[in-house]
Amino acid sequence: MDRSPRAVQRLLLVLALAAAMLFAVVAPALALVNPQVTLDQEQGGSPTRFTFVAITDKDASITGMDFTFPPGFDLSSVSFDTVTLEGLVRRPVNVTGAAAGETLSLKFAPSVEPSSTLRVQIHDVLTTNEGGTFPLKIAYSTESTATGTRVLSHRTDDTVKFSYTSLSFAEGISHNLDKNSFVAGWNNVKALGMFFKPQLVVTSIPTVITGWYLALVWIAFAFPIAIVGGLSFAFMKMSKIPPLRWIAAAYINVIRGTPLFLQIFVAFIGLRIAGFRVDDNVTAVAVLAMNSSAYLAEIFRAGIQSINKGQFEAASSLGMNYAQSMQYVIIPQTVKRVLPTMTSEFILLFKDTALFAAVGRPELMYQAQNIVANTGNMTPFVVIAAFYLIVTIPLINVVGRLEARLAVSEHGQSPTEKTKRRGGRLMNELAQSVDPYRATAPDSIHDDNERG
Amino acid sequence: MSQYIVRIEGLHKSFGKLEVLKGVDLKVTKGEVVVVLGPSGSGKSTMLRCINKLEQPTDGRIFLEDIEITDPKTNINQVREQIGMVFQSFNLFPHLTAKANVMLAQRKVLKRDKAEASRIAEEQLRRVGLGDKMDNFPAQLSGGQQQRVAIARALAMNPHVMLFDEVTSALDPELVRGVLDVMKELAAAGMTMLVVTHEMGFARDVASRVVFMDEGVIVEEGTPEEVFDHPKSERTKDFLGHIT
Ligand SMILES: Nc1ncnc2c1ncn2[C@@H]1O[C@H](COP(=O)(O)OP(=O)(O)OP(=O)(O)O)[C@@H](O)[C@H]1O
Ligand SMILES: [Mg+2]
């Protein structure tokens, strides 16, 4: 029988555990029923109001609560208020409390009645930048009213969950800038704060850049189409067949003779009223391509006609037909001549995408207008100006260099290393030695590309 | 087969109301060098340009051997490849090197393969004395050199006749010789040539026949001696008097 004491021991242990579990489940565990927490901000990284609502147990009144937030939360500037709700009636609860680290301890005096709906609002909790789902640990002290004596129990195992999304990278930087004293001083200077507010620069870029992509995608489709269209109209206008010439001339004159703004409205609003429903981006690309093709047609035509007639005659006298003469003799020379003007046309077209803001297409201008309307600050306009310039300045540069190179080659110079290094004097000499081309080279084909 | 390489019958050409050619008849036999003289505006260039239809004749007929060029059914490009033409203003393709200038029509019109076109281009450029300038662009060549490239370009097509329209007029005096020398060699090699020029020395030395044109008609023609030394027409005398 030397085994029995151990069996009894084991039995007692099991009973004790069962009793403990029973106690844990039954007694003050349900001091709060249906606890919920909501927060104001969907995004992390900013001061947020937490609203905690629960129903107190019918047997227990609450004397105090501890809210423990996840690590990294900043409670240094929180304030709080507590009410009980009965239907539409709110009763303030006298509450005192203090924050220590991530824990806010509240004491209610008098204690909160059993079976009441308790609402605690905690203001200005600074959440972390990183989003996710987090636990809010809640501990509370209760007074049992069933026995009339005050039984203090302290529970720490209740948690409610809440979640928010991550603060965007740009807004993270913006929040850091908010804290920077130099930035604050900068923004205090009215002109700087109104047009160059660093926070808005940072936060508007992610939005505005989508408008930039959109404009670039439009152009990436529209310009090649416009080149093909422009070439077609140029050849139509030079055609021997009168109706083709008339069609081309009419098209070119109507498009160049009316504002692009009007063309956009006709395409977006007129067609819609007429019952046509086309994808907005397709419409935008079509309008840009049609507009540009008219300008390119004139650029190409002027370019082709600027090539000395003798070139075509020389090709013909060698037995080359019209297509061959164009393809191998005229067009290669034309390309070199029209490249600067074509690049200018590309720049114009890119800038013209701004007009689509008027019909609500979310390109650069539209995005900026939106932010300006929401913030009352002009900075987004400055930001999009930069986005236009990123594209246009290098191209303006390219135009300049193409024009310089063209000027040199038109004056009898070709780009070989040897002559390039020897520079200006030789070019002049060469220019003088090649009379025939100089005598017949046109001055300029650029006049044709002025836009009102 | 016709005994004439080029035969012009009753050629008329008007630009609007202005009648430039008023009935020109001219026959050029194989191997002949015909030099056309005449005052400015007499229609020399217009006549040459009618031969390969760079100008559309108003009336009359032109034959290249047995082909009637003026027949609307004739494929003019096929005729043109057999007629070499050299212009006063060279008209080299400025975006191509000398050799590429000579190769282009060989490849695209005669459909010669690259190696053959290249070989012929080099051969012709060497023939006009530009063996060392093949890879130069026109802008890197002197006027005389450019004109010789233009001659090589025409020769590479194996033309049956060559038309030269004042090919030395745009050149500095010291560059004229080189071009004329090339033309002399060409004549010596038996090329049929129609040459409009003001170079009287060249006409005397090289021409098998001299044609004097004035006001859209051929006034006089004959051997260089006949025309230069014993001109029959007053107009010819007048013209030669002014020139020399
Ligand atoms: N395309 C044209 N349109 C109108 N008139 C023309 C045209 N080409 C030539 N002409 C006129 O025709 C006439 C003859 O010109 P053409 O060039 O044949 O003369 P030319 O004998 O070659 O003279 P030059 O010695 O000056 O070259 C001139 O009066 C000229 O003005
Ligand atoms: Mg002439």
- pTM of the model as a whole: 0.72
Tokens of A158: 């209740």
Using a CB-CB cut-off of 8 Å, the residues of chain A touching B93 are 311, 314-315, 329, 333
CA distance B214 to B62: 20
Q: Whose CA is nearest to atom 13 of ligand 1?
A: B41
Range of the domain at A41: 29-164
* Per-window interface: B 65-124 vs A, CB < 8 A: 77-78, 80-85, 87-95, 104-105, 108-110
**A124 in the same domain as A61:** yes
Question: Which of A318, A329, A414 is the closest to B80 by Cβ?
Answer: A318
* Interchain CB contact of B139 with A (< 8 Å): yes
- The minimum CA-CA distance between A218 and chain B, rounded to whole Å, is 34
**A289 in the same domain as A235:** yes
Instruction: Please report whether residue A452 resides in a domain.
Output: no
Strand partners, A27: none
Nearest-Cα residue of chain A relative to residue B88: A436
pLDDT digit string, tens, across residues A436-450: 333 333 333 443 444
- pLDDT reported for residue A178: 87
Contact A318 B81 (CB under 8 A): yes
Instruction: Please report whether residue A20 resides in a domain.
Output: no
- pLDDT reported for residue A153: 60
**A400 in the same domain as A291:** yes
Contacts of B22 (CB under 8 A, 6+ apart): B12, B215, B216, B217
Boundary-marking domain end, from A139, A164, A189: A164
**A256 in the same domain as A155:** no
Asked if residue B38 has its Cβ within 6 Å of ligand 1, the reply is yes
Residue in the structure block whose two tokens are 């130069």: B136
Residue B37 has pLDDT above 80, yes or no: yes
Alpha helix locations (H) across A266-363?
A: 271-273, 280-306, 309-317, 322-324, 331-352
Asked if residue B45 has its Cβ within 6 Å of ligand 1, the reply is yes
Mean pLDDT of chain A: 83
Q: A175 falls in which pLDDT band (50, 70, 90)?
A: confident
pLDDT, greater one: A58 or A120: A120
- The minimum CA-CA distance between A258 and chain B, rounded to whole Å, is 38
Give me the mean pLDDT over the B31-35 stretch: 96
- pLDDT reported for residue A36: 86
CA distance B20 to B36: 16
**A210 in the same domain as A283:** yes
pLDDT, greater one: A16 or A318: A318
- pLDDT reported for residue B24: 96
How far is C-alpha A84 from the chain's CA centre?
44
Question: Which of B81, B110, B137 is the closest to A414 by Cβ?
Answer: B137
CA distance A87 to A275: 54
Contact A317 B143 (CB under 8 A): no
CATH number at residue A204: 1.10.3720.10
Asked if residue B197 has its Cβ within 6 Å of ligand 1, the reply is no
| ipTM of the complex as predicted | 0.94
- pLDDT reported for residue A438: 32
Boundary-marking domain end, from A143, A164, A185: A164
Contact B52 A413 (CB under 8 A): no
Ligand 1 pocket test: pick from B12, B46, B235 the residue with the most ligand atoms within 8 Å of its Cβ: B46
- pLDDT reported for residue A196: 95
**A387 in the same domain as A239:** yes
pLDDT, greater one: A12 or A254: A254
Residue A421 has pLDDT above 60, yes or no: no
Q: A114 falls in which pLDDT band (50, 70, 90)?
A: confident
Residue B221 has pLDDT above 80, yes or no: yes
pLDDT digit string, tens, across residues A292-314: 999 999 999 999 999 999 999 99
- How far is residue B2 from each of residues A201, B107, B194, measured CA to CA in Å? 86, 30, 18
Question: Which of B77, B90, B139 is the closest to A414 by Cβ?
Answer: B139
- pLDDT reported for residue A432: 39
Instruction: State what percent of residues in chain B have pLDDT above 90.
Output: 93
Q: Whose CA is nearest to atom 10 of ligand 1?
A: B15
- pLDDT reported for residue A410: 63
Asked if residue B41 has its Cβ within 6 Å of ligand 1, the reply is yes
Residue A419 has pLDDT above 90, yes or no: no
Contact B105 A318 (CB under 8 A): yes
**A212 in the same domain as A112:** no
- pLDDT reported for residue A31: 66
Residue A25 has pLDDT above 70, yes or no: no
Please give the backbone phi and psi of residue B110, each rounded to the nearest 5 degrees, phi first. -85, -10
- pLDDT reported for residue A425: 40
Instruction: Please report whether residue A380 resides in a domain.
Output: yes
Instruction: Please report whether residue A19 resides in a domain.
Output: no
Instruction: Please report whether residue A193 resides in a domain.
Output: no
Contact B139 A315 (CB under 8 A): no
The Cβ-side half-sphere exposure at A382, using a 13 Å CA radius, reads 14
Residue B241 has pLDDT above 90, yes or no: no
**A399 in the same domain as A256:** yes
Ligand 1 pocket test: pick from B45, B168, B196 the residue with the most ligand atoms within 8 Å of its Cβ: B45
- How far is residue A137 from each of residues A52, A74, A124, A126, measured CA to CA in Å? 12, 15, 18, 17
- pLDDT reported for residue A18: 63
Q: A431 falls in which pLDDT band (50, 70, 90)?
A: very low
Q: B225 falls in which pLDDT band (50, 70, 90)?
A: very high
Inter-chain Cβ pairs, chain A and chain B, closer than 8 A: 93
Give me the mean pLDDT over the A132-161 stretch: 72
Please give the backbone phi and psi of residue A377, each rounded to the nearest 5 degrees, phi first. -120, 140
- Do A313 and A325 contact (CB within 8 A), yes or no? no
Q: B244 falls in which pLDDT band (50, 70, 90)?
A: low
Q: Report how far ligand 2's centroid is from the alpha carbon of B82 (Å).
A: 22
Question: Which of A317, A414, A430 is the closest to B80 by Cβ?
Answer: A317
Give me the mean pLDDT over the A155-164 stretch: 78
Residue A428 has pLDDT above 60, yes or no: no
Residue A29 has pLDDT above 90, yes or no: no
CA distance B2 to B63: 9
**A219 in the same domain as A159:** no
Instruction: Please report whether residue A450 resides in a domain.
Output: no
Q: A171 falls in which pLDDT band (50, 70, 90)?
A: confident
Boundary-marking domain end, from A140, A164, A188: A164
- The minimum CA-CA distance between B75 and chain A, rounded to whole Å, is 10
**A259 in the same domain as A151:** no
DSSP letter at A284 equals H
Instruction: State what percent of residues in chain A have pLDDT above 90.
Output: 48
Contact A319 B104 (CB under 8 A): no
**A128 in the same domain as A246:** no
**Which ligand sits closest to the CA of B54?**
1
**A131 in the same domain as A221:** no
Instruction: Please report whether residue A194 resides in a domain.
Output: no
Tell me if residue A240 falls in helix, strand or coil.
Answer: coil
Radius of gyration, CA atoms only, chain B: 18
Query: Exposed, middle or buried, A314 (CB in 10 Å: 0-12/13-18/19+)?
Result: buried
Q: Mutate which of A317, A324, A333 to test chain B, going by most B C-beta atoms within 10 A?
A: A317
Contact A436 B143 (CB under 8 A): yes
Question: Which of A319, A413, A439 is the closest to B78 by Cβ?
Answer: A319
CATH number at residue A139: 2.60.40.740
The closest-lying atom of ligand 1 relative to the alpha carbon of residue B55 is 1
Give the number of domains in chain A. 2
* Per-window interface: B 174-213 vs A, CB < 8 A: none
Instruction: Please report whether residue A281 resides in a domain.
Output: yes
Using a CB-CB cut-off of 8 Å, the residues of chain A touching B153 are 318
Asked if residue B119 has its Cβ within 6 Å of ligand 1, the reply is no
